[in-house]
Amino acid sequence: MRTVQATYVDGAWAPGTGSTEVEVSSAADGSVLTRFQGAGAEDVARACAAAGRAWPGWAATPVTDRADLLRTAAELVEKRADELGATAAQEVGTPIRMAPIVHGHMVAATMRDVADKVESHTFEERVGSSLVLRESVGVAAAITAWNYPLYQLATKLVPALAVGCTVVLKPSEIAPLTTIGFFEALAEAGLPGGVANLVVGTGAEAGEPLVTDPRVGAVSFTGSTRTGVRIAELAAAGVTRVTLELGGKSASVLLDDADLATAVPATLNGCLLNNGQTCAALTRLIVPRARLAEVEEILAAAVAQLRVGDPRDPDTAVGPVASAAQHHRVLQHLRGALDDGATVVSGGLDAPEGVPAGGYYVRPTVLRVEPSMRIAREEVFGPVLCVIAVDSEDEAVAVANDTDYGLSGAVWSADPDRALAVARRLRTGQVAVNGGAFNISAPFGGYKRSGYGREGGRFGLDEYLETKAVQL
Ligand code: NAD
């Protein structure tokens, strides 16, 4: 079992002093990877004090020096991509064939992109007789989820550091090991003590004191909508700025002229990415009724080909979900769907065959559902795709938008202009037209209950900046 210290404050690792023991288990077989005392309120206060002390020096460091340091850290993350990927395969369940990419190379690429963007960012401009200054908010707090722990650091901690903030990070207690590896890389890159601090603990014991600490100038959160609401309420008392990256129930809209052979497997991949544990996962496939049978046939054939298994096995396409609690939640959602009358197109409640005992495996499942069913409305965060039949383009748009969430979406049509017209009608923060690829420099964030604020490229920098007008 790995020995872990719960805090990294002022450049030194130390045990947590909270009252809760954190236990990290392997998604692959349920074995305990590590167990340690979590961080508590005192550790958070110590971390915020350290970040507060380090801020003036870090904010005064030339932006090119900060960017260069982040590039050095990116290089170290890149070098460790295989090791970070192997850790994520265990604690998140990401299949090893893609884990080093999403938890390593893509993280490093995003860090470099942030370093480039901050060097060309506008920190001062003349507006008539005024000088407008953009200044770092001071200490930024970041709280992350367990699904892509390092990508979330690249879009929170890294832009905050780039603009001159110092940071206290609280990662998810379910999957903190990759984050600990990332902090080792930051230390090796030569980041001064106190500039980036880590407290690993539960939401109640470490997260809440962090959000309410008076030294914190901005909070950036990725996680469930429920926790996001709680954080926004807590932050409101201190009038602290908040960025919320929350849940989703994103729709992939097939128009009647879509190329099904491309669109349907791509949607399934977009749903099953990271075993369905992706906030922007395409979890609803909206299909013209006349093409429903064809679509279901393609889906059933594609699911039958998927190898479900140990995430450490390079042949595995779909691994387990991250925790026993998440496993239970996904199966509860599936049971509820069957009670509500959903039709199984492929998969189901039975455990997949031939997987390691003790792991948190769920069969990739495709259901035909009605838009009113709970499974079509609630975020599952597991390998479950809902197919919904509609009778017109207008109905497709109405169903796609008939959700509390507004994170992502996709549109497919043989006519790109027609697809773009539908993309404009979707109430979501991002839309992919005919498989348009994810762009790390584009703004990422939600409409409605998927949150507010934007991450990514130059857009993410503004979340950590105050604006001052100096009248001359
Ligand atoms: P979660 O809300 O349970 O936890 C997220 C983080 O918040 C964890 O670090 C947790 O310890 C902390 N936390 C919990 N209660 C807290 C409290 N009261 N105060 C402060 N912190 C608290 O979410 P999760 O289960 O870890 O992640 C899954 C969710 O994250 C899904 O809903 C998913 O859609 C969402 N997500 C969103 C994005 C996005 O960019 N929009 C990205 C990834 C995941």
Closest atom of ligand 1 to CA, residue 170: 9
**Nearest residue (CA) to ligand 1, atom 17:** 203
Closest atom of ligand 1 to CA, residue 279: 34
Closest atom of ligand 1 to CA, residue 234: 19
| pLDDT tens sequence across 419-431 | 999 999 999 999 9
Residue of 91, 103, 143 to mutate, ligand 1, most atoms within 8 A of C-beta: 143
Closest atom of ligand 1 to CA, residue 171: 9
CA pair distance 360, 28, nearest whole angstrom: 7
Residue of 102, 172, 323, 405 to mutate, ligand 1, most atoms within 8 A of C-beta: 172
**CA trace torsion 402, 385, 302, 289 (10° rounding):** -40
Which distant-in-sequence residues (6+ apart) come within 8 Å of 325 by Cβ?
none
**Nearest residue (CA) to ligand 1, atom 11:** 203
Residue-level pLDDT at 310: 98
Mind listing the domains of the chain with CATH numbers?
Answer: 7-246+449-471 (3.40.605.10), 250-440 (3.40.309.10)
Closest atom of ligand 1 to CA, residue 379: 32
Please check the confidence at residue 2 and state whether its pLDDT lies above 90.
Answer: no
Residue of 224, 274, 282 to mutate, ligand 1, most atoms within 8 A of C-beta: 224
Active site (annotated) includes residue 245? yes
From 208, 245, 379, 455, the catalytic residue:
245
Q: Please say whether the beta carbons of 363 and 347 come within 8 A.
A: yes
**Ligand 1 pocket check for 366: Cβ under 6 Å:** no
Can you give the pTM of this predicted structure? 0.97
**Ligand 1 pocket check for 147: Cβ under 6 Å:** yes
**Ligand 1 pocket check for 379: Cβ under 6 Å:** yes
Please check the confidence at residue 414 and state whether its pLDDT lies above 90.
Answer: yes
**Ligand 1 pocket check for 443: Cβ under 6 Å:** no
**Ligand 1 pocket check for 223: Cβ under 6 Å:** yes
**Ligand 1 pocket check for 246: Cβ under 6 Å:** yes
Residue-level pLDDT at 423: 98
| pLDDT tens sequence across 215-273 | 999 999 999 999 999 999 999 999 999 999 999 999 999 999 999 999 999 999 999 99
Mean pLDDT of 336-349: 98
**Ligand 1 pocket check for 381: Cβ under 6 Å:** yes
Q: Is the ipTM of this complex over 0.90?
A: yes
**Nearest residue (CA) to ligand 1, atom 16:** 203
**Nearest residue (CA) to ligand 1, atom 43:** 279
In percent, the amount of the chain with pLDDT more than 70 equals 100
Which of 133, 457, 414, 422 shows the shortest CA–CA distance to 260?
414
Q: Please say whether the beta carbons of 36 and 5 come within 8 A.
A: yes
Mean pLDDT of 89-113: 98
Of the pLDDT bands very low, low, confident and very high (cuts 50, 70, 90), residue 1 is: confident
| pLDDT tens sequence across 147-178 | 999 999 999 999 999 999 999 999 999 999 99
Taking only Cα atoms into account, the Rg of the chain, rounded to an integer number of angstroms, comes to 22
Mean pLDDT of 26-33: 98
**Nearest residue (CA) to ligand 1, atom 42:** 279
